[in-house]
Structure 1
Amino acid sequence: MTSLPEIKTPMTPRRTALVGGLMVAAGPLSISLYGPALPTIVSELGTSDAMGKLSLAVYFAAFALAQLVCGPLSDSWGRRKVTALFLVLYVLGSLVAAFGGSIELLLVGRVLQGIGVSVGVALSRAMVRDQFTGTESIRILTLINLILTVAPAIAPTLGSFILLFGSWHLLFLVMGAYGLALIALTQWATRETHPEAARVRFRLGNVLRNYWVLLRSSAFMVPGLVLALSFGGFYGFAALLPFVLIDEIGLSTFGFAMVMLIQTGAFITGNVLAGYAASRLTGPRMVQVGLVLIGLAGIGFAVGLRLFPNAVPAVMLPVALWMLALAFIGPSTTAAAMAGFGSIAGAAGAMTGVFQVGGGFVGATIASVAFVQASTALTTLTPIMAGLTIAVALVQRIAVRSKAMSPPQT
């Protein structure tokens, strides 16, 4: 394992978790905050529903891909400088979206926002890896992961509340203000965690070589794929739940909001349990607990609605189990993926972010376009994602055992 470079004034675990969590929150908040206003935006800009949904897709794509750039840049220039640069793009994108006045400029604004928030996931993880390893890093990543997943659950409610005080333009101004607050936080209340002695010159060849190292390493790819598949399942059923619970089961909008508290509560509970368990269990054991939970969730999704049609518990019990699983899987797999790559922590953090966000994008896209009926997608796609998550982890475990049992070559 690559040793950590000495940092003269490291941040405390609590400050690292707080700063990282606030950075990460910008991404999901910017996805979900303006969701309640999307029909109004489509109407006022005189465009189609498809173009409105495209504003989500371009943001998601920019969010995922830009991490491949901001991570290596931070390995060369330092975490704070790159964070400020990308957050300026985020603020600019928020202003373009707020005042553009056309769907084309809204799309431009959303692309800039997606590029800007990419620093949240990538560099928050790099900042943790710069300073901490092992159990401590898992505990910090657990807190950051809590914010990453809870934020999109509360963002629609927050967006609806903001709309009581103004038009949809106000939502983007609030995003811009949050970006400015993050710039202030990361420049004046955050220490540089990547010392100059550990920095590498930014060259395209080096960047591609670093990513090739990660993609060739099973030590990175296996936890990365587990992360992608588990979060892909989450974003997949998140895209389906409104259609299943409201359109098919018949809940009101308020009833849906109340039922979704089960999802948020389960994830908060899971993070509390995972934080407690992190000091008592190894990272692999944490992942094993998560895999058992995600397996139970997959079985629940496969049989629940088939045995009990139109029953809310048949939907939400598997959701709760999946959220509990993510609390155990997310931080441990992230820490495992980055553990041996301290010298390129920015690139490793970026790639884990691409896997997580990209897996979510793929899961949500398949759930939305590959099935005619939402409940069919829920009872088919989600169990498949659970099975693939477990299969990837088991294949790696079998390979490790086989290698350990094979006789040494002479």
Structure 2
Amino acid sequence: MSERQVTYLGALLTTLGPISMAIYTPAMPELVRAFSTTEAAIKLSLSMFFGGFAVAQLVAGPLSDALGRKKATLIFIGIYLLGSLVAALAPTVEAILAGRLIQGIGASVGVVVGRAIVRDLYTGANAARILNTIGIFLAIGPAMGPTLGGLTLATFGWHALFVLMIGFGLLAASCTILFLRETVIPDPAKLKAGQLIRNYWEVARSSRFLATSIILSGTVGALYAQSTMLPFVLINQVHLTPTQFGIGMLMQSGFYLLGSLSLKLVAKRLGNARCALIGIVFCGVGAVIMALSVAYVPPFFLSIMAPVAICTFGLAFLTPYVVTVGLAPFPHIAGSASALTGFMQMTAGFFAGFAAASIGNPLTAFGIIIPIMQLSACLAFVWLSRQLRQS
């Protein structure tokens, strides 16, 4: 495949999970009313998606190493379409929970294979450049999600949101069939239990991999975690409508896009490592502002979203370098390495969502949990930098 094909297809697959969350979030308060249930039950539907997404990556990665990227992708997209159909036809909140769990399992293949095919074909600065371009698309897709979700909800109702997801899944399947060329030699032996354990142990015992995974868990994981809190903060406490919420979330994705475009302009001059340092500084500064804002300022739109935007801008500078460094030692098991780092990110978001539910007040949870995650990533970045200087 050409670099352009790898970039566009990787972007489409990688956005499968994030756009499925972005389209859904404006409907969460509406689903509370539609099913006469509690906020906790609807928050659980997002946590079910996180849980399925996180755990299934541990299967999707080795399966893509064993059966090939293309076959594994089509299997999981089929699962995603099934979950979307179950949710679209859901008569009860329990069916929504089941559908979201199945969706999460199916969507897990996107980020795994999207990163793995880049690692299969490219390394170093070339890989970072492709991942940055994928990041631009990753900003545009989910940026449109809340807006599209809010408008669709207002016009057609919540069932139509899952019809949109079915359409997105069919698009991903069609492009996989037409454009994905196999990038590894399938090896079914990699599915044997002993080999799976050895592969994951090889990845997990790498201190470089652990450092990069903690960085991504604290920053990307924070994006997943705050998606369980922001709808309730902005709609119930700042009093935005679902449509206004969808439009307002453009600030988050817009700053990710701005960061990705800025990185594209300065990466050659500054170098990827220095750009990553700039990114982690933005994440740390945003985290401190976020904690102070929630503690001392009555909530309004900019008090919530300005620090989110700062962190997201930093994330765009940070991610391509960190992902490239983390996957570089594992060309022979790129799928498994990509799966494990994705699992750690989603698990961080999953448990942060549960922690937020235990705190109760979404605003308080937002001001405590997200800054802690971002600052943990800053500490892990210091650890990674020391390792790289010593190697």
TM over 0.5: yes
Q: Which residue of the partner structure matches residue 273 of structure 2?
A: 284
Q: 1:398 aligns with which of 360, 374, 386?
A: 386
- The change in CA–CA distance for 1:298 and 1:122 in structure 2 (over 3 A counts) is same
Q: Is the 8 A contact 1:236 1:365 kept in 2?
A: no
How far apart, CA to CA, are the structure 1 residues paired with 2:274 and 2:190?
Answer: 37
Q: Is the 8 A contact 1:24 1:147 kept in 2?
A: no
Q: Which residue of the partner structure matches residue 172 of structure 1?
A: 162
**Are 1:17 and 2:7 matched, yes or no?**
yes
Between stretches 184-193 and 294-303, larger displacement belongs to 294-303
Q: 1:72 aligns with which of 47, 62, 66?
A: 62
Deviation string for 1:354-391 (max 9, x for gaps)? 1222222233333x224354443344333322321111
Q: Which residue of the partner structure matches residue 202 of structure 1?
A: 191
How far apart, CA to CA, are the structure 1 residues paired with 2:111 and 2:353?
Answer: 19
How far apart, CA to CA, are the structure 2 residues paired with 1:307 and 1:45?
Answer: 36
Structure with higher Rg: it is 1
How far apart, CA to CA, are the structure 1 residues paired with 2:80 and 2:258?
Answer: 32
Q: TM-score normalised to the size of structure 1?
A: 0.85
Q: Which residue of the partner structure matches residue 8 of structure 1?
A: none
Q: Which residue of the partner structure matches residue 275 of structure 1?
A: 264
Gaps of 5+ in 1: 1-10, 405-410
Aligned alpha-carbon RMSD (Å): 2.7
What is the aligned residue count? 391
| Higher percent of residues as helix | 2
- The change in CA–CA distance for 1:127 and 1:290 in structure 2 (over 3 A counts) is same
Q: TM-score normalised to the size of structure 2?
A: 0.89
How far apart, CA to CA, are the structure 2 residues paired with 1:326 and 1:202?
Answer: 34
Post-superposition offset of 1:18: 0.9
How far apart, CA to CA, are the structure 1 residues paired with 2:317 and 2:260?
Answer: 7
Q: Is the 8 A contact 1:24 1:120 kept in 2?
A: yes
Q: Is the 8 A contact 1:135 1:278 kept in 2?
A: no
- The change in CA–CA distance for 1:146 and 1:238 in structure 2 (over 3 A counts) is farther
How far apart, CA to CA, are the structure 2 residues paired with 1:166 and 1:314?
Answer: 32
Gaps of 5+ in 2: none
Between stretches 75-84 and 225-234, larger displacement belongs to 225-234
Q: Which residue of the partner structure matches residue 33 of structure 1?
A: 23
Q: Is the 8 A contact 1:141 1:331 kept in 2?
A: yes
How far apart, CA to CA, are the structure 1 residues paired with 2:95 and 2:228?
Answer: 26
- The change in CA–CA distance for 1:187 and 1:255 in structure 2 (over 3 A counts) is closer
How far apart, CA to CA, are the structure 1 residues paired with 2:291 and 2:214?
Answer: 22
- The change in CA–CA distance for 1:318 and 1:34 in structure 2 (over 3 A counts) is closer
How far apart, CA to CA, are the structure 2 residues paired with 1:315 and 1:164?
Answer: 24
Deviation string for 1:166-197 (max 9, x for gaps)? 4433332332232222111111122111135x
Identity of aligned residues (%): 37
Between stretches 133-142 and 43-52, larger displacement belongs to 43-52
How far apart, CA to CA, are the structure 2 residues paired with 1:133 and 1:61?
Answer: 30
Q: 1:352 aligns with which of 341, 352, 359?
A: 341
Q: Which residue of the partner structure matches residue 218 of structure 1?
A: 207
How far apart, CA to CA, are the structure 1 residues paired with 2:89 and 2:302?
Answer: 43
- The change in CA–CA distance for 1:305 and 1:51 in structure 2 (over 3 A counts) is closer
How far apart, CA to CA, are the structure 1 residues paired with 2:41 and 2:52?
Answer: 16
Q: Which residue of the partner structure matches residue 56 of structure 1?
A: 46
